[in-house]
Amino acid sequence: MDNISLIDSFITNRAKKKLLINQVNDEIGLFYVNLIENYTREKDIKLVRKETFSENTVTDLFAEEVINIYFSNNKKAIESFINSNDKCIIFTDYKNYKLFSDIYLCINGYNYQKDINIYLKRILKINNSEILEFCLYMPHLTFSELSKYFIDESRYVRDKKIKEISNSILEIRKRIYNLKKNQKELINIYTLIKQEAQIKKFSFLTF
């Protein structure tokens, strides 16, 4: 089962209680958050973001259906979420994803490009390379761009700045990788990481 179908099935099936997502980074994580928000809205399911787990949750068989979302890279906190009676989705890092992936239902965010392809092409029946390319480069802006696209599909044109920004980030990541590989110039690695963060911050403001 692909990740899009897995998320849809998890949300719909009341028997399924726990889903872990390796969000990789904030941009990819936001794509999955927005995807889940969209599905729960369509199914009239309440989605609640929580910072911490509360053991005082009382189960009400007649209450509205609720799915809690947690964000944590702390193993003990994740175990608390998992051992609760809540139906919840836990966003975490790759280390915890690997730790729990053989036991619980999990999604690897490193497959986000495949998931975006499936969602746009198969679920939404979109056959437009412009918006697909945009979403693959900027996963965190997928749903805002889809809103723009559906206003007037025939006249949709993505922002041309997207490729320039993406190429800049890609080049920086290559340089960081090479520096880390050679275990040299830690100050330069730090500078490049800050530079990438600034570009991402600018892209959020621009789009």
Mean pLDDT, 10 residues at a time, the chain of 207 residues = 94 93 91 95 90 56 79 92 90 93 91 95 93 89 90 77 60 65 60 63 48
Q: What is the count of structural domains for the chain?
A: 3
Domain that holds residue 123: 113-155
pLDDT, residue 175, reads: 67
Q: Are residues 17 and 71 in the same domain?
A: yes
Q: Are residues 53 and 126 in the same domain?
A: no
pLDDT in the model for residue 141: 87
Give the pLDDT confidence score for residue 206 in this predicted structure. 45
Phi, psi of 87 (to 5 degrees): -85, 120
Bridge partners, 108 (sequence order): 22
What residues does 50 pair with on adjacent strands?
70
Whether residues 28 and 85 fall in one domain:
yes
Tally Cβ neighbours within 10 Å of residue 54: 10
Listed in sequence order, the residues at least 6 apart from 80 whose beta carbon sits closer than 8 Å to its beta carbon are 53
Are residues 94 and 55 part of one domain?
A: yes
Mark which of 49, 77, 111 sits at the end of a domain.
111
Are residues 129 and 38 both part of a single domain? no
pLDDT score, position 75:
92
Greatest CA span in the chain, whole angstroms? 60
Regarding whether 118 and 103 lie in a shared domain, the answer is no
Q: Are 172 and 185 part of one and the same domain? A: yes
Beta strands in the chain (DSSP E): 18-22, 46-50, 66-71, 88-92, 106-108
The pTM for the full model equals 0.75
Rounded to whole angstroms, how far apart are CA atoms 45 and 67? Answer: 7
Domain check: are 107 and 120 in the same one? no
Distance CA(133)–CA(163), nearest Å, equals: 9
128 shares a domain with 102: no
Shared domain for 129 and 193, answered yes or no, is: no
In this structure, the answer to whether residues 125 and 176 fall within a common structural domain is: no
How far apart CA 185 and CA 205 sit, in angstroms, is: 31
Cα-flanking dihedrals φ and ψ of residue 85, to 5°? -90, -5
**101 and 21 belong to one structural domain:** yes
What pLDDT is recorded for position 64?
74
Do 66 and 46 contact (CB within 8 A), yes or no?
Answer: yes
User: 37: which residues sit within 8 A by CB, 6+ positions away?
Assistant: 47
* Exposure of 83 in the CB half-sphere (CA atoms within 13 A): 8
